[in-house]
Amino acid sequence: MSTPFYVSPQQAMADRAEYARKGIARGRSLVVLQYADGIVFVGENPSRALHKFSEIYDRIGFAAAGKYNEYENLRIGGVRYADLRGYTYDREDVTARGLANVYAQTLGTIFSSNAEKPYEVELVVAEVGARPEGDQIYRLPHDGSIVDEHGSVAVGGNAEQISSFLDQRHRDGMTLAEALKLAVQALSRDTNGSEREIPAERLEVAVLDRTRPQERKFKRIVGRQLARLLEADGDAATPTDTPSDTEE
Amino acid sequence: MEANPRSTGRLPAAFLTPGSSSFMDFLGDHAPEMLPGRRVLPPVKGVIEAPHGTTIVAASFPGGVVLAGDRRATMGNMIAQRDIEKVFPADEYSAVGIAGTAGLAVEMVRLFQLELEHFEKVEGAQLSLEGKANRLSTMIRSNLGMAMQGLAVVPLFAGWDVDREKGRIFSYDVTGGRSEEQGYAATGSGSIFARGSMKKLYREDLTEQQTTTLVVQALYDAADDDSATGGPDVARRIYPIVTVITEEGFRRLTEAESSELARSILERRLEQPDGPRAALL
């Protein structure tokens, strides 16, 4: 005769959270930073075709860490949500806040429903404003909570360490090259504190650039443009970076 | 209906179901009443009166293609709108101009733009130009019921073919029949005159500047002989919309550029009302 085990709700949730966190930690971290002209997404991604960052709508971008098939599914859901909403009302009525709410509800319901396994994903939804004050960045952990972020945010396995590294060094009004260099620096640090080199071919970089004349502000930065930014960066950003380097 | 775009709850299951990359297919499954072609029409006697857009012209040149339209919408013998816009970017590398029932046509353009954008976002790649042209065909075909009641939409589609590296023009009939045009094309009530005008002026080796001049000449000739087509309105500063699509993507001539173009043509027409002449032999 089998007796069903009693598991307290606290324990059940803790187990599910543990499960999701472990899944997310297996993937590589990524960072999202504000810079003077917009928001930049930087991550290490050996694949050219399977993206971690993508466009959702005119001013809204999406970044995800964790299990590819699960966040891809959420990404397409988000594109459908945004396109349907824009078609029903107007393009202006599609906002990052609305999308973040929908994702939060979706992730939250999945997380607390016993019928489904929790999603092993952590998302970032970002919207670039007409001016830097209008930028919005939302981080959505696996359990469906929403965190309204400013300046910089990191998600994925090593997120906490990277976040604190970024918090100390990120400042408002950085140029794209400076922000990109800082992001790469943050991603290059391993859990044990040692640094490793991430070659440009393994970097996935995209921006939401408010200065783009088109309505759609999302743009991938690849090839020569990326190499140029990483290089230009080396010369231009060194002096401004010195103070933070000496702090360490 | 499970699918309420107005709610902000959890994403409905349909949103997370793997499926086609087409926004129209998604709408068809999820909110079919929002698709123009799925509407049930009440029986109507006679023709429904609604504003109509008139003339759209296109011409290709070695580096790209030009698509332009006049600004008049008419309802019967009345001018319904003097500054309507009938030429729209479809995406980065293509544009669509519409003649026919203005309300339906503008709705179709919105859906077409979204269809291309949606595919691009979901797949991470653009449709081929041929694919885009075929998609537009399907949309016109779904409007056939309304076309039979006098609410036809007949677009002209032009774009830069990234793979073949040339500008291409597609014209349509009300049944969605699609045909690729060589060199130049026109649609709408003034198209007969515009086509005649371009036939005499068009050459294969025109520059971009010459091609924009050519299409505005054609629109002028259409307005000259077709009352439903509007010529450049100097008093109100309303000039034709001219768009150029090249390797660099879609570009619409600025207000200043199109006014200069229209004015220079107008000036020449003051001396020579019928415009430039082709050689007899």
Which letter, b or e, does each residue of A204-242 get, where b requires 16 or more Cβ atoms within 10 Å of its Cβ?
bbbbbbbeeeeebbbbbbeeeebeebbebbeeebeeebe
pLDDT band of residue A26 (cuts 50, 70, 90) is confident
- Residue A193 C-alpha, separation from nearest chain B C-alpha, in angstroms: 36
Q: What is the pLDDT of residue B38?
A: 76
Instruction: Please list the alpha-helical segments (H only) found in chain B.
Output: 13-16, 23-30, 102-123, 129-142, 144-148, 191-201, 208-225, 255-271
Q: What average pLDDT does the segment A32-61 reach? A: 95
pLDDT band of residue B231 (cuts 50, 70, 90) is very high
Q: Do A77 and B114 touch (CB under 8 A)?
A: no
CA distances to B7, B23, B91, B138 from B27, rounded to whole Å, are 16, 6, 20, 15
pLDDT in tens, B50-86: 889 889 999 999 999 999 999 999 999 999 999 999 9
As a whole number of angstroms, the distance between CA A123 and CA A142 comes to 8
Superfamily of chain region A26-229: Aminohydrolase, N-terminal nucleophile (Ntn) domain (3.60.20.10)
Residues of B with CB under 8 A from a CB of A: 5-6, 8-11, 15-16, 18, 23, 26-27, 30-31, 34, 92, 110-111, 114, 117-118, 121-122, 124
pLDDT band of residue A241 (cuts 50, 70, 90) is very low
Q: What is the pLDDT of residue A1?
A: 60
Q: Do B121 and A55 touch (CB under 8 A)?
A: yes
pLDDT in tens, A73-130: 999 999 999 999 999 999 999 999 999 999 999 999 999 888 889 999 999 999 999 9
Instruction: Look over chain A and give the mean of its residue pLDDT values, rounded to a whole number.
Output: 89
- Sheet containing A152-155: which strands, arranged edge to edge? A152-155, A30-35, A38-44, A203-209, A218-221
Whether B216 shows a pLDDT value over 50: the answer reads yes
**Picking from A39-43, B30-34, B127-131, B233-237, which range would have the lowest pLDDT averaged per residue?**
B30-34
- The angle formed by the CA atoms of residues B101, B106 and B108, to the nearest 5 degrees, is 95
Contact present, A177 and A236 (Cβ < 8 Å): yes
Q: Which residue has the higher pLDDT, B164 or A238?
A: B164
Domain boundaries, chain A: 26-229
> B interface mutation test: which of A56, A69, A71, A83 has the most B CBs within 10 A?
A83
At which residue do the structure tokens 């599609």 appear? A94
- Residue A67 C-alpha, separation from nearest chain B C-alpha, in angstroms: 15
Amino acid identity for residue B134 in this structure: N
Instruction: Look over chain B and give the mean of its residue pLDDT values, rounded to a whole number.
Output: 92
ipTM given for this complex:
0.89
As a whole number of angstroms, the distance between CA B117 and CA A229 comes to 28
Q: What average pLDDT does the segment B155-168 reach? A: 96
pLDDT in tens, B11-39: 998 899 888 899 999 998 888 888 887 77
Count A/B contacts: CB-CB distance under 8 Å.
66
Domains along chain B with CATH numbers:
49-271 (3.60.20.10)
Q: What is the pLDDT of residue B6?
A: 54
Its pTM stands at 0.90
Whether B145 shows a pLDDT value over 50: the answer reads yes
